[in-house]
Amino acid sequence: MFILYYKPTCPFCQRVTQTAENLGVEFDLKDVSQDDTFADELIAQGGKRQVPFLVDTEKEVSLYESSDIIDYIRENKPAATDAADTPAKPRVHISNSVCESCEG
């Protein structure tokens, strides 16, 4: 199971959650800005109050840095059951550049 400590307003967290959504990966989301218990867990597990922070409970892996987290979930995402059953999500861009989320 993937646990993601995050803040909804953090652009790096948004990048991770959007990529995960595009890949069909689910997280147990823990918003550290809304719950001090989650913030305390984050510090206990990672040593600092930096987000995003991913914990893979099955492989006992934990990571900071959005790019590292995105690479990790791409390589370790659960096998898809059937791609035909998953509706395509629209991709909205604010600028003319292609975001890394859409590369998923």
For 52-78, the pLDDT digits (tens) are 999 999 999 999 999 999 999 999 987
Task: Out of 24-33, 38-47, 76-85, pick the least confident.
Answer: 76-85
CATH class of 2-78: alpha beta
| CA 4 – CA 57 distance, rounded (Å) | 11
Q: Quick check: 55 and 62 in contact, CB under 8 A?
A: yes
User: Taking the domains of the chain in order of start, what are their residue ranges?
Assistant: 2-78
Picking from 84, 78, 102, 82, the residue whose alpha carbon sits closest to that of residue 92 is: 102
For 3-20, the pLDDT digits (tens) are 999 999 999 999 999 999
Would you say residue 43 has pLDDT above 60?
yes
User: How many secondary structure helices (H) and strands (E) does the chain include?
Assistant: 3, 4
Would you say residue 50 has pLDDT above 70?
yes
pLDDT, residue 104, reads: 46
pLDDT, residue 25, reads: 92
